[in-house]
Amino acid sequence: MPLIESQYKSPWWLPGGHAQTLFPRLFRRVPSVSYQRERITTPDDDFLDLDWSRIGGNRLAILLHGLEGCSRSHYILGLVHALTNTGWDTLSLNFRGCGGEMNRQARFYHSGETTDIHTVVEHAAKQFGVDEIALVGISLGGNAAMKYLGEQGSHLNLRVRKAVAISIPCDLASSSRKLAAVSNRVYMKYFLSTLTKKARAKAERFPGLFETDRLESMTSFAEFDEQITAPLHGFDSAEDYWTKSSSRPFIPKITIPTLMLAARNDPFLTPECFPEKEARESNLFHLESPQNGGHAGFFPPTGKRLYWSESQTVKFLDETNL
């Protein structure tokens, strides 16, 4: 019954989910990482940019960023430093269109897209011969990682042995509706500002791919996913996309130790995004949901150096065994 009673508490001077979400984004300064970039070709003749940080070990953590993030997002850099300091090589995947150059094919990435994760896992396992692979995903990347693990089930590459998912909207429909609330307008405006620019560029390259007349006036994921994400990726509607791409239904099919970290005051998440029943019924899926932390925030407790989500990730990957 891996439902973990969390001891994490945010500092007293950083109250509330919004402050705990925004503070790291605005004020955290993470040392840069000297990545080695590798570009690989996908089965559909597109490309993926992989940013490696190697220390010469035999354990590899594949890091998956959130919506409109990249390998240089502060939360990815923090994880790279935390993991390499404890003996893990890292591979930070830039989802299609997120590595600094627009991808070649019509489709982008989305919350439930897992074929590229599979391509990267198999590439890393075959080309670099590491003994152990872990998947670590944040927000959108965490949802995609858990969906991938459930899809693969017993067919998962045997070198993939552990996973961590941080602040993930594992029920996309309810999370999308919550983000449309007035209190979350700042986040929605940020996400849509970059998504619509990419969609406009994609439409110019592939005329007729989707309707663009209301692109700049969109105010919610319901609108963007209905008009762009769904038709672009073969879904019938935004609701169809959310239903088929949510990772929560896939959790019971996960076959390796997996930790999900999610704060109860996360402004992006709803009660449906806390799969307590699945954790109680599983010997492999662990859920830790402290009251505080915000969305991918988890400022370090007093006297600690690492952000709490980073220290918990390292602890779980180093100490948990099948």
Q: Which of 71, 167, 295, 309 is catalytic?
A: 295
In 3D space, the residue among 140, 119, 168, 170 whose CA is nearest the CA of residue 69 turns out to be 140
Catalytic residue at 171?
A: no
**What's the token pair of residue 310?**
């980073």
Q: Which of 139, 220, 245, 282 is catalytic?
A: 139
Strand partners, 164: 136, 259
In 3D space, the residue among 50, 49, 122, 55 whose CA is nearest the CA of residue 82 turns out to be 55
Q: What distance in Å separates the CA atoms of residue 320 and residue 322, rounded to the nearest whole number?
A: 7
Catalytic residue at 73?
A: no
Q: Which of 49, 65, 266, 282 is catalytic?
A: 266
Q: In this structure, are residues 24 and 75 in contact, taking their beta carbons and an 8 Å threshold? A: yes
Report CA Rg, the chain: 19
Q: In this structure, are residues 138 and 75 in contact, taking their beta carbons and an 8 Å threshold? A: yes
Q: In this structure, are residues 241 and 226 in contact, taking their beta carbons and an 8 Å threshold? A: no
In 3D space, the residue among 168, 183, 179, 180 whose CA is nearest the CA of residue 66 turns out to be 168
The dihedrals phi and psi of 169, each to the nearest 5 degrees, come to -85, 75
Residue 140, SS3 per DSSP: helix
Catalytic residue at 123?
A: no
**What's the token pair of residue 298?**
């988890």
Residue 12, SS3 per DSSP: coil
Residues marked as catalytic: 139, 266, 295
